[in-house]
Amino acid sequence: MAASERLARLRSAVVGGDDEPGLSLAVLAGAVAAFVSLPLVALLVRASNYGFGHLAGLLSETGSLDVLLNSLSLVVLVTLGCVLVGVPLAVLTVQTDLPGRRVWTVVAALPLVVPSYIGAFTFVSAFGPRGDLADALAVVGIERIPTIYGLQGTALVLVLFTYPYVFLTTRAALLSFDGTLVEAARTLNHSRWAAFKRVTVPQILPGVAAGGLLAALYALSDFGTPSIMRYEVFTQQIYVAQRSLGVPEGYPALLSMQLLVVVTVVLALESRIGAGDTSYVSRGSRQPGRIELGVWKWPALAFCGGVAVLSLGVPLGVLAWWFQRAGSAVFEFDPTVAWNSLKVSVAAAGAATVLALPVAGYAARSSSRFSEVTDRLTYVGYAVPGVVIALALLYLSTEFAQSLYKTVPLLVFAYVVRFLPQAVGSVRSSVLQVDPKLTEAARTLGRSSTGAFREVTLPLIAPGVAAGAALVFLTTMKELPATLMLSPLGFETLVSYIWLVRGAGSYGAAAVPALVLVGVSALSMVVILAQERYNG
Amino acid sequence: MADQLQTTRRRTEPDDATTGGDVVLELNGVTKAYGAETAVTDLSLAVRDGELLTLLGPSGCGKTTTLRMLAGLERPTEGAIELAGDTVAGPETFVAAEDRGVGIVFQDFALFPHLSVRENVAFGLTDRDGDAATERVDEMLDLVDMPDMGDRAVDQLSGGQQQRVALARSLAPEPDILLLDEPFSNLDVRLRVEMREEVRRILKAAGVTAVSVTHDQEEALSISDRVAVLNDGRLEQVGDPEGVFEHPESRFVASFLGQAAFLSGMVNEATVDTAVGSYDRGLLKGLTDGYTGAMVDVLVRPDDLRAVPATGDTGNGTIVKRQYTGPSFIYHVELDNGDVVRCLHNHAEDMDVGEPVTVDLVSDHSLAWYPTE
Amino acid sequence: MSERSGPSRRRFLAAAGAATTTGLAGCSGILGTGSESGGGTPGIGDFRGSGAIVEDRPAPGGTSIEDLPDLEGELAIYLGGGEGGRYTTLIDLLDRYYDGFEVSQQTQPSSQLANIIVDEYDSGTTQADLFWSVDAGSLAYVSDKGATVGLSSDATSMVADDRFATDQWVGVAGRSRAVPYNTNQFDASDIPTSIDALATRDRFQGSLGWAPTYGAFHGFVTAMRQLRGEDGTREWLNAMLDQNPARYDSEYATVKQGITNGEVGAGPTNHYYPMLVFAQRPDVPLDLAFTENDAGALVNTAGASVLDGASDPELADLFVRHLLSAEAQEFLATRGFAFPMIDGVEPVGPLPTIEELSPPDLDLQSLSDVQPTIELLKDVGILS
């Protein structure tokens, strides 16, 4: 075919059909996607520099297979645990006559508010070998309690603070579940329980899987909890290996590659389970009748209460205890630390929002392949753990951009890579809600396309954009591994401060910053919920 | 007083059901209240073996609630339900849906999306083992005329096919009675007519007793053996379709079925005088002596009246509206005395709005009437 | 491998015990008020620690801060393990001493910092001006890799003992390996003067505690490797494992929790840990012993070096001189119970001076050879 035809084809493959947004938007979106993929590319290049043969050799030489096993055990245990806790809680609060359902619903979702490393902290303080429980039991004469450290403790803490993901997605699936199906099953000789097993469960499986995915990814990428609980998994080992003597060349890179492989496997698994057909034939709105618990009410309440005590009572109680015990010393807290946290979080939120606009705008308005690709690429940060991004950026800066090494801009870049997906998602759904006819109308009334964007689209998507920015701000405030690895010398944030004092064991000083972080986290939940309502 | 007359009339006429085959289902004084709201009041009804009874009424009349009580998905506040001789709902008993042996076809079919057609149909066959179940499923698929569709996924089926599968599924476990909740409202209009016939054929072939619920009078009248008209939670009238249509016992039933209009008439010794003429008082069915000198409202339907263009002052009414339905016109005529009636004409008889006309009664059957309120 | 026992075995803390049971809290140094004086330039009282154990010390000798040039400008320090915040307190005091002097620091384990410093040097991205480590091994490692610039003779000449200074780094606070023990379980004479006996004697079976993840322990093992070779060290480690020692997170925990409470009877730790416990609670059944002429008697030192790539090497060098000032050394001796590195300041009462100890003949620079130590510990199964 003629060259011009080829060009035209290429152009439409890139830019889409005639009613597609302009080329400049596509270019911008592509640039952003390339920009945030840099760390991953850098890591791959670095790994290949070592030679994959060398890396394979390291596999057997070092304990990296043990680390792999540890990480896998953790992920499996945590996902299972979250399902075992989250699904019953969802069923209890949606479909039964459990007393105080509304309250339990809120309480069950609240643990998301506690950053997991703070949860880990408080758990070690309460249940560790020299913790409060041990002291209390020592009085009674029990000398040794099962250790909180290791796999059991790490899994427990992670389950307690990530089960809400499964709880919330299962709950959503149950709420949108067509109750008529259960009634149909009942008229076909199935008891309520049999109907639940054969009809409800297969229908809500995709929802459960989605929540399980979030929990699994979280378990894989969490750094703080395994470090505090002394369980050697990828994240913690990458961090330690990156800065220890006696570590063979390329070991951190190897661990990172392994971790990324596991993440990919998890993502692939979920897309298979979760690909359940969501285009249900029946779309009734009737809720199935309430399951009556009868005498089972008491065990159910005990279960809900127990989970709440462990996931909310312990951390908040311990923090309050530290706060109270530290007395006036608590306020000797240096405000520069909080100020630093604020500065980087605002910078990250601003940068992420600005970068999200072209990507999300393009993805929302275009159906071309290219727009799909750029959209997907920005989700790199969602799957790649913070510790790996930080490692990649350390490599990048030491090789190519020494002046950026351990500077605030680099740190902000790490945050942006990691949390851009939140901003993109938020902006995208806002743009989708704006009827393109509105911009067309503006243009027929004499506005240029930028003018139309500024005067019509922007005001309409402003709430969604703001929500995305708020989300990035709040998640950045509590981010741990990248902060530890990339902070410039002397640059202390709330998070690095907490990490520091926990190393010294003086927990009391951590009380105020920890409470601030919990408050920040709570705010982000409020933003998410408000945004859900806004999106309908 | 007028209402009392109606009530007495209803009670003294024998219920057709008791004269027919065995009674399979009986409702006695069933009431359902939700707090202060009553959805169904004092409903008594009997359904005999093999018949198709339709509960007909506008939305909110309590028909769906009644259906759910029959299925065991709701519990009556008062009254009792007997099914195949056993009391399944009463002051002291309540048999739940899973134990009742009642099949139900839902309005939106409620097919299990994660199961194939065959698995859907087999779902209720919990007491049969592999081979017996397969046999029964094949039997059912044959009955609903979908013998080769067993392995299809449910979301690949058309509306009509889905309905067939829903029927097959509820018929498979041989229920004592089959309930249908507005079964055709989810189909497009053209399909509706076709499926009505089809469903009746299936039900009769299966020999199952069925209770259907609908607000579509055409549907009720065309396929049911008997129709029960409900209004605001109460049973207004029950009988075969012709009886209910031609001899509505209450004003509500009269206006609900067909396009009704009322002619006011003065009852005399031998005649009844209306705006369209005087007629023998024997035209009004069941008019007793006591009504001489009273005003009554006579029920007329569009096919009972004809309008003819009038010249000068000779007409008795003016056309105020006309409806073109394709094959026919329905003219709304305002008569001199203020009554507004409707006349059915074929499409060739074209008249204009505002034209003076003479309206004549052309029906060949007795007319229903109600004391003027 | 000799083993001296008998009444000549010195008990250090017992001697001090009687004197210190009278009055503990508060301090009344002759100079200044003792604890943080709040505003204004810190005085000697701010540097000196508090407690009866440090009462009646003479004024420290050596160069006073006042005699040193002023510190001016910004200094970035990589601080290897803040020793429970003690070193940050000292940094803070020096910061407050001078207007126009700003210091920022990042605290991490010394070995991690050593690794980071070398990486940064290699890639030309040096972040800090000064490396202040708690052990000589890390300092030696960093200087071996060329990441330091030499110190001025003004700085190096302040150190009294040559063993604790090179032209690349100087020691500022000496620490000796020791064997603290529970006096209820063991006598002074029970504790051998050779570290091998600790690993072979029956009486220590099931009665020892240690913290093998601790940096100072690694330094000790490195010393042993230098002194007797890989195989001999491996033998000792395996013998220790046979003694079934209890494992603690840190040597402080080994002493405070393990030995003091009688969970275990003895164990190898740095000398100042039992001092710290003793200073808080003079009535504990705790004392310490030193081995002789082997790795168990190693005298290591915390120290500092100026990094290649520092933005202001002169300032860093001057800071090092301040660490060797009379006040700073008094601080380190009284608050951290370290062995001072300058003439004119003595270690805290109950402790012997370095001259009185019998450390092995070992160049501290050789402690830079840390990598094989880690590998050996992993190989033997002590580290995973």
* Inter-chain Cβ pairs, chain A and chain C, closer than 8 A: 61
Q: Does A189 touch chain B (CB under 8 A)?
A: yes
Q: How far is B25 from chain A (nearest CA, A)?
A: 17
Contact B224, B212 (CB under 8 A): yes
SS3 C172: strand
pLDDT for residue C33: 34
Nearest CA in chain B to A199: B112
pLDDT for residue C22: 35
pLDDT for residue B361: 87
Mean pLDDT throughout A260-285? 64
Identify residue A411 by its one-letter amino acid code.
Answer: L
- Helix A52-61 to helix A23-50 angle, to the nearest 10 degrees? 60
pLDDT for residue C9: 63
Calculated CA dihedral for residues C160, C165, C170, C175, nearest 10 degrees: -70
Q: Are strands B369-371 and C101-108 parallel, antiparallel or unpaired?
A: unpaired
Q: Residue A315: pLDDT above 80?
A: yes
Q: Does B95 touch chain A (CB under 8 A)?
A: no
C79-122 residue pLDDT tens: 987 666 788 888 888 888 888 898 988 888 888 889 889 988 98
SS3 C369: coil
Q: Is C211 buried (19+), middle (13-18) or exposed (0-12) by CB count in 10 A?
A: buried
Confidence of residue A458 (pLDDT cuts 50, 70, 90): confident
Query: Which candidate in A61, A236, A243 is best for mutational testing of the C interface (most C CBs within 10 A)?
Result: A243
Mean pLDDT throughout A315-334? 78
Confidence of residue A81 (pLDDT cuts 50, 70, 90): very high
Q: Residue A265: pLDDT above 80?
A: yes
Q: Nearest Cα to C347, choosing from C337, C360, C361?
A: C337
Prediction ipTM score: 0.75
| Contact (CB<8Å) A245/C114 | yes
Mean pLDDT throughout C276-283? 85
pLDDT for residue B226: 94
Query: Which candidate in A177, A180, A187 is best for mutational testing of the B interface (most B CBs within 10 A)?
Result: A187
Choice between A250 and B159, residue whose per-residue pLDDT is larger = B159
Q: Residue B6: pLDDT above 80?
A: no
C338-370 residue pLDDT tens: 999 998 888 887 888 888 888 999 999 999 888
Q: Is C72 buried (19+), middle (13-18) or exposed (0-12) by CB count in 10 A?
A: middle
Sign of CA dihedral C112, C115, C120, C123: negative
Out of A243, A490, A504, the one facing C104 most closely (by C-beta) is: A490
d(CA A42, CA A414): 13
Confidence of residue A8 (pLDDT cuts 50, 70, 90): low
Q: How far is C378 from chain A (nearest CA, A)?
A: 10
B254-271 residue pLDDT tens: 888 888 888 888 888 888
pLDDT for residue C323: 92
Out of C84, C85, C128, the one facing A489 most closely (by C-beta) is: C128
Chain B residues closer than 8 Å to A191 by CB = 98
At C250, list the tokens: 């840190």
Q: Residue C30: pLDDT above 80?
A: no
Q: Which residues contact C4 (CB under 8 A, 6 or more apart)?
A: C193, C292
At A322, list the tokens: 């530290």
| Contact (CB<8Å) A490/C76 | yes
Q: How far is B158 from chain A (nearest CA, A)?
A: 11
A157-211 residue pLDDT tens: 999 999 998 998 888 888 878 888 888 998 898 888 888 889 988 888 888 888 8
**Mean of the per-residue pLDDT values for chain A?**
82
Q: Residue C320: pLDDT above 90?
A: yes
Q: How far is A419 from chain C (nearest CA, A)?
A: 26
Out of C76, C371, C384, the one facing A245 most closely (by C-beta) is: C371
Same fold, C44-174+301-351 and C175-298+358-380: yes
Neighbours of B336 (CB within 10 A): 11
Query: Which candidate in B123, B125, B127, B128 is best for mutational testing of the A interface (most A CBs within 10 A)?
Result: B123
Contact A378, A350 (CB under 8 A): no
Q: Do chains C and B touch (3 or more CB pairs under 8 A)?
A: no
Calculated CA dihedral for residues B254, B256, B259, B260, nearest 10 degrees: 30
Chain A residues closer than 8 Å to C85 by CB = 504, 506
Out of A189, A198, A277, the one facing B173 most closely (by C-beta) is: A189
Q: Which chains touch C (3 or more CB pairs under 8 A)?
A: A
pLDDT for residue C50: 73
| Contact (CB<8Å) B98/A276 | no
Nearest CA in chain B to A183: B73
Chain A residues closer than 8 Å to C76 by CB = 489-490
pLDDT for residue B314: 81
Q: For chain C, give every domain's residue range.
A: 44-174+301-351, 175-298+358-380
Q: Nearest Cα to C165, choosing from C190, C143, C196?
A: C143
Q: How far is B170 from chain A (nearest CA, A)?
A: 7
Entry pTM: 0.76
Q: Do chains B and A touch (3 or more CB pairs under 8 A)?
A: yes
| Contact (CB<8Å) B71/A181 | no
Query: Which candidate in C127, C248, C276 is best for mutational testing of the A interface (most A CBs within 10 A)?
Result: C127
Identify residue C352 by its one-letter amino acid code.
Answer: P
Q: Which residues contact C310 (CB under 8 A, 6 or more apart)?
A: C126, C128, C129, C130, C149, C316
Contact B249, B6 (CB under 8 A): yes
Chain A residues closer than 8 Å to B109 by CB = 281-282
| Contact (CB<8Å) A282/B73 | no
d(CA C239, CA B108): 79
Mean pLDDT throughout C213-226? 90
Choice between A227 and A12, residue whose per-residue pLDDT is larger = A227
Out of A186, A198, A282, the one facing B97 most closely (by C-beta) is: A186
Identify residue B133 by its one-letter amino acid code.
Answer: A
| Contact (CB<8Å) C125/A402 | yes
Interface of B with A in 113-172 (CB under 8 A): 113-114, 123-124, 126-127, 154-155, 162, 169-170
Out of C84, C111, C372, the one facing A504 most closely (by C-beta) is: C84
Contact B333, B341 (CB under 8 A): yes
Q: Nearest Cα to C364, choosing from C307, C299, C305?
A: C299
Out of A183, A198, A281, the one facing B111 most closely (by C-beta) is: A281
Share of chain A above pLDDT 90, in %: 22
Q: How far is CA A113 from CA A80, A520, B225, C77, in A?
A: 21, 8, 63, 36
| Contact (CB<8Å) A405/C123 | yes
Q: Which chains touch A (3 or more CB pairs under 8 A)?
A: B, C
Nearest CA in chain A to C368: A245
Q: Residue C26: pLDDT above 50?
A: no
Nearest CA in chain C to A488: C127
At C132, list the tokens: 């202040």
Choice between C86 and C44, residue whose per-residue pLDDT is larger = C86
Contact C319, C75 (CB under 8 A): yes
Nearest CA in chain A to B168: A188
What is chain B's length? 373
Query: Which candidate in A404, A489, A492, A501 is best for mutational testing of the C interface (most C CBs within 10 A)?
Result: A489
| Contact (CB<8Å) A244/C78 | no
What is chain A's length? 536
Rg (CA), chain B: 24
Q: Which chains touch B (3 or more CB pairs under 8 A)?
A: A
Q: Does C50 touch chain A (CB under 8 A)?
A: no
pLDDT for residue B98: 81
Range with the lowest mean pLDDT among B300-304, C54-58, C183-187?
C54-58
First to last CA, chain B: 10
C300-311 residue pLDDT tens: 999 999 999 899
Contact C43, C65 (CB under 8 A): no
Q: Which residues contact C317 (CB under 8 A, 6 or more apart)?
A: C151, C152, C154, C155, C306
Q: Does C104 touch chain A (CB under 8 A)?
A: yes
pLDDT for residue A281: 36
Range with the lowest mean pLDDT among A479-483, B191-195, C146-150?
B191-195
DSSP, res B185: T
Mean pLDDT throughout A505-513? 76
> Considering the domain C44-174+301-351 in this protein, what is its CATH number?
3.40.190.10
Mean pLDDT throughout A39-65? 78
B71-99 residue pLDDT tens: 888 889 999 999 988 899 988 888 888 88
C162-191 residue pLDDT tens: 889 999 999 999 999 999 999 998 888 888
Q: How far is CA B206 from CA A187, B55, B197, in A?
A: 18, 21, 14
Exposure string for C136-158, b = 16+ CB within 10 A, e = fewer: bbbbbbbbbbebbbbbeeebbeb
* Inter-chain Cβ pairs, chain A and chain B, closer than 8 A: 86
Chain A residues closer than 8 Å to C113 by CB = 243
> Considering the domain C175-298+358-380 in this protein, what is its CATH number?
3.40.190.10
Q: How far is A181 from chain B (nearest CA, A)?
A: 5
Contact B299, B370 (CB under 8 A): yes
B92-119 residue pLDDT tens: 888 888 888 888 898 888 888 888 999 9
Q: Do chains C and A touch (3 or more CB pairs under 8 A)?
A: yes
At C172, list the tokens: 């500022």
Range with the lowest mean pLDDT among B183-187, C175-179, C325-329?
B183-187
